[in-house]
Amino acid sequence: MPEDPDHGALIWFDAKNNSNILEWTKQIDQFLQVYTKQPPRSNQIKCDYDKKPPEGKVCAVDIKSGMGPCTGENRYGFTDRKPCVFVKLNKIIGWKPDYYRSIDELPDNMPLDLKKHINQTALGDPLKMETVWISCDGESPADTENIGQVEIYPKWGIPGYYYPYKKIDGYLSPVLAVHFTNPKLNTLINVECRAWAKNVHYKKSKKNREGSVHFEILVD
């Protein structure tokens, strides 16, 4: 988010201004330091859908692979006018996702491209359905038209083996990269990223927002 509170949730940058880009990329570097700079804890293990952490252990979060072009070496896409925004879920002690188990359970208002991804990669594999799915889109029809293609790394969602959060030392919240591959330039775009599970309660109002996050991007 912007360091200047007057800018609210606006991510605004000029791709021709190196110092402007550096302000954003340094902020992302700082945000990711907990994942990249700290040595692994002894109780962190590499997890998978069929390898959940035993008692007293937590799943490691590897952001050095699986993030596509959303890397520091690529300056998180800012120089190419294809910015990456990093998102994560808030920690809720003891919360465990209630997963969608079949295509029939997917909500009618879930984005079609996300449904297609689930159908192609997870249906038929009960373990991979244990995912908190994530979508990002424009908030209004105009925003949807201007936002262009959005790619989410890794896997369009957060694997369920990171949950529940038990306040165990060494736990890190899983983080996702949202890559805006061709946003309309010189145009303010309102973005909503939303989490999908049966017990993620979505509520959107001017004063209260649950199950999602709002921000704006403006690329000059």
Here the tokens at position 70 are 């959303």
How do strand 44-45 and strand 58-59 relate by DSSP bridges? parallel
Half-sphere exposure of 33 (CA within 13 A, CB side): 6
Strands (E), the chain: 10-13, 44-45, 58-59, 84-88, 131-138, 150-153, 157-159, 175-180, 189-196, 203-204, 209-210, 212-219
Distance CA 207, CA 205 (A): 5
Specify the pLDDT at position 5: 63
DSSP-derived letter for residue 89 is P
CATH of 5-219, one of 3.40.50.300, 3.40.50.1820, 2.70.98.20, 2.60.40.1660: 2.60.40.1660
Q: Using pLDDT thresholds of 50, 70 and 90, give the confidence band for residue 118.
A: very high
Q: Is 37 exposed, middle or buried (0-12, 13-18, 19+ CB in 10 A)?
A: exposed
38-66: pLDDT as tens digits: 777 889 999 999 999 999 999 999 888 88
- In this model, does residue 4 exceed pLDDT 70? no
* pTM assigned to the model: 0.91
144-197: pLDDT as tens digits: 999 999 999 988 899 999 999 999 999 999 999 999 999 999 999 999 999 999
133 closest CA partner among 117, 103, 115, 156:
156
Q: What are the residue ranges spanned by the domains of the chain? A: 5-219
Phi, psi of 123 (to 5 degrees): -60, 135
67-79: pLDDT as tens digits: 999 999 999 999 9
Specify the pLDDT at position 187: 97
Quickly count: other Cβ atoms within 10 Å of residue 66's Cβ: 11
